[in-house]
Amino acid sequence: PAMWHILEVVSHSAPGLVDTRWCTQGRCQGIYAHASVLAAYRHELTPWHLAARFGLRFWQAARLVTAAREAWIDTADLSLVVEGRQGYAALWDSAVHPRTVADLAAVLPQDLLPMPATFYEDLAYSGVQTDWLRGVLALFPDPELAKFLAGRPHEYPLPSLEEVTELHGLGLRAAELGTAIQLRTSVATIRADLEARQDDPLILLAWQSEWRRVDCYPRKAHFAVLADHGIPHLLPERAAIDATLALCRLSHDTIERSEVGIMLAVLGEPILVAEAVSHGVTSALDPRLTPIATRGETR
């Protein structure tokens, strides 16, 4: 029974086979909640849980797990996983069967294989639609984009395949598509930029991506401010923004970090930014910022 249970769990062949909320095996580790579905399946395959569930000794359960894992890995296509047998072993312990790996690999263009074990684990549990991912990667065959999309369907609103196709037609590259998704930039926004010929959306997206590294989320209008000052690619250090933000919040405790970051890029000195904020300049779009930047004046 224990061996059959292991195979059913790894194959996800029986609905409700694993309680994804908590474990109630008293001999296991008591009653506790699982952090995720993946955590629940991993726990279900541990020797101590199997021993508690089926009345086995720990060493007996451990041997069963190892025997099942090694036997099925012997049948696996090792060319699909970067880490080979080691990767398949990790996937088995996460209840991802070698047959499941082969099915998930079919989503990818051949040029992207092999992929790391974490890609298959993410894709198996994230809930992302494989037909959608197959269509996206057919247009944007990029391994980094594949890894990003496989594990984050709930963190960002994903565009439809039709929207992705339009983005491809607009000339976006794979990395820029990932950035557009992270920044929640709509197709309509990029299209409008092109039609108005105001900005190159590729440049704008890349610029916003750089600012995300310092936890700032500037808009297109902020890019225009920096461009007007001749410093469109100036990016202050995270520590400098942190220090400036702390100074500014002494006089205005709700000022946004992104505004402070852009103002620091324009003014160059934390004390000038703090002084401007103390005089009511709380946005980099405030026209009063220009005379401060050019003459160091606050009025």
Instruction: Report yes or no on whether pTM surpasses 0.75.
Output: no
Check pLDDT > 90 for residue 182.
no
Confidence of residue 194 (pLDDT cuts 50, 70, 90): low
Instruction: Give yes or no for residue 159 having a pLDDT over 70.
Output: yes
Residue 112 is predicted with a pLDDT of 96
- Quote the CA–CA distance of 155 and 176 in Å, as a whole number: 17
Task: Determine the average pLDDT of the residues in 219-241.
Answer: 88
Q: With contact defined as beta carbons under 8 Å apart, do 87 and 94 qualify?
A: no
Angle at alpha carbon of residue 89, lines to 101 and 46, rounded to 5° = 110
pLDDT tens profile 7-20: 888 888 776 667 76
pLDDT of residue 230: 80
Which residue is associated with the tokens 């309509």? Answer: 188
Q: Which of 254, 262, 253, 257 is nearest to 286 (CA)?
A: 262
pLDDT tens-place string over residues 97-154: 999 999 999 999 999 999 999 999 999 998 899 999 999 999 999 999 999 999 876 6
pLDDT of residue 297: 47
